[in-house]
Amino acid sequence: MKKIDWYIFKKFLSTFVFSLVLLTVISTVIDMSEKTDDFVKSGLSSREILLQYYAGFVPFIVSMLFPLFVFISVIFFTSKMANRSEFIAILASGVSLSRILRPYLAGGILLGLLLWYGNRYIIPKANEKRTQFEAKYIKSPILQVVSRSIYMRVDSFSYCGIRYYDTTSRAGGSFFLETVREHKVTYNLRADNMAWDTAKKVWRLSGVLERTITGLKENVTFYPELYKKFPFTPKDLQRDEYMQSRLTTPELTRMIEMEKLRGSETVKELTMENAHRNATPVAVVILTMIGAIIACRKIRGGSGVHLAFGIIICAVFILTDRFSTIFSTKGDLNPYIAAWIPNVLFGFLTIYLYKKAPK
């Protein structure tokens, strides 16, 4: 990288960090003012609130507004450079626009990779901490859900059902498990109650009747209590609006495969979350290039016009993303296609703006 590249690259990152800190502080103060009563009722100290809630809230708000932070940063410092006629001087010296955009592309890729890694491993852990605090002290318990009935496919041949499962106590009412091979039931298990044994990491069944069927022969056994290991844990049985956001990408991928096997209705939401984690970092790169191309031109009105135009583009991008998400989760649109539709549309917009930009 040449001096001009380092000059633009450093301005890009420094402006990004400044806007990130500024907007994060503003968001935190607003959130704190809205939840003051809840914090007082919780009886926790300021240190406990910071460690238990805001340690998760800050990464969450940063990840949610990350593309907006990058876009505003690019427009702001690039517009300032354009108003000082720096780009006119650079272009007049024989440097092409594509050459000027290289440090922007490098910065966008660097920040995109940072967001990509954060979405996969860091943000889910922060969301787990934040949602647990909200469930306990702020909102009505979202994790303490009683499901009247859960029916699912356990593996290629087995099906099970649980009645009145409580995620708080990790216990359920009557339970059944059936294995079907060649359209015939070969194994059947029924229990009056089931509960998760945290010490042994297995399910404890009580009042168990186990039937094994081989041809015309049937073996029936009764157990007052039986410990069994099934291919699902209490975590797999939780159903709440924040479930997918609390899972790291490897856990989310495993959950998607399990839910597909079970025929669950939550597959689309889980797949959409996974697709967004890969699509959003690419959006950071696209918005970086759009912001650079728009703001590098000196116009009347200066930074204000550039920022206004940038905010309009951000609003359209968010609306496009929301609409495609709704069409996927509520309709038949493939989640991966839905997640990438905004990137494709704004990728074409980037190419169009580049061709129209003065060189």
For position 146, what pLDDT does the model report?
Answer: 47
What's the rounded mean pLDDT across residues 31-47? 89
Alpha-helical segments (H) within the chain: 3-34, 36-42, 46-49, 55-83, 86-92, 97-100, 102-117, 123-133, 249-262, 267-295, 303-330, 335-356
Q: What is the mean pLDDT of the chain?
A: 87
What's the rounded mean pLDDT across residues 69-92? 87
Evaluate if residue 262 carries a pLDDT over 80.
no
124 to 128, 170, 240: CA distances (angstroms): 6, 22, 15
Q: What is d(CA 297, CA 314) in angstroms, rounded to the nearest whole number?
A: 19
Range in 17-21, 199-203, 255-259 with the lowest mean pLDDT:
255-259
What's the rounded mean pLDDT across residues 127-134? 88
> What would the pLDDT profile of 104-114 be if each residue is shown by its tens digit?
999 999 999 99
Domain boundaries, the chain: 3-140+267-356, 146-236
pTM above 0.75, yes or no: yes
* Closest alpha carbon to 282 in 74, 112, 125: 112
Evaluate if residue 95 carries a pLDDT over 70.
yes
Evaluate if residue 182 carries a pLDDT over 60.
yes
Range in 3-7, 255-259, 336-340 with the lowest mean pLDDT:
255-259
> What would the pLDDT profile of 233-258 be if each residue is shown by its tens digit?
887 777 666 778 888 999 899 888 87
DSSP-assigned letters across all residues of 49-79: HIIIIIHHHHHHHHHHHHHHHHHHHHHHHHH
For position 145, what pLDDT does the model report?
Answer: 47
